[in-house]
Amino acid sequence: MSAFPGVGDPLPDVALTSPDGGTVKPSDFSGRKLVVFFYPKDDTPGCTTENQDFTSLADDFARAGIALLGVSKDPPTRHQKFIAKYGLAAPLASDAVEGGLSDALGIWTEKQNYGRAYMGMVRTTYLVGPDGRIAQVWNKVKVKGHAAEVLEAAQAL
């Protein structure tokens, strides 16, 4: 059994930093469905595609009453540049503090690349019900088609 929250558990209510320097936390979306997608780094190929895919479906999510929130460890100023460069519509938040939401979920973890160990974000998406409980988790996400799959699952919730 994992010590990290999973389906049926409440999403930890950890504050994140919005691009304007304010705070945003999961409880801000209480009473609504929420999709929180964690990605490794702004302005990298896979992360850009993922954010663009969620942006292209942002109106569909909004019409269905589903809030979106993209999260990485990048600082708020980098998020601002990323949003401006690609015209992103899905709100972004920064989870840069140690012990933050990605730590609480166990998705900020040691990764390996070419034999080098480093800390990194595991691309993971959480669908949270209006009650604040995790309804579905996509681990080690493959970007292609992911946003559409999440939209379909969120609409069915």
CATH number at residue 50: 3.40.30.10
Q: Is position 117 within any domain?
A: yes
pLDDT higher than threshold 90 for residue 62 = yes
Is 54 in contact with 87 (CB distance < 8 Å)? no
Strand 66-72 and strand 33-38: pairing?
parallel
Taking residues 103-118, report their average pLDDT: 93
Residue 17 is assigned to a structural domain of this protein: no
Reported as a pLDDT band with limits 50, 70 and 90, residue 2 is: low
Mean of pLDDT values over 114-121: 93
Number of domains present in the structure of the chain:
1
Residue that wins the pLDDT comparison between 33 and 2: 33
Give the residue from 74, 90, 86, 88 showing the smallest Cα distance to 17: 74
Query: Does a structural domain hold residue 140?
Result: yes
Within a domain: 16:
no
Question: Does 1 score more than 70 pLDDT?
Answer: no
Domain membership of residue 77 (yes or no) is yes
**If you average pLDDT over residues 74-81, what whole number do you get?**
97
Q: Which domain holds residue 112?
A: 33-156
pLDDT more than 70, % of the chain? 99
Q: Is residue 10 included in any domain, yes or no?
A: no
Q: Is 47 a catalytic residue?
A: yes
Handedness of CA 93, 114, 147, 1 (dihedral sign): negative
Which member of 11, 47, 67, 83 is catalytic?
Answer: 47
- Residue 49 phi, psi dihedral angles, 5° rounding: -60, -45
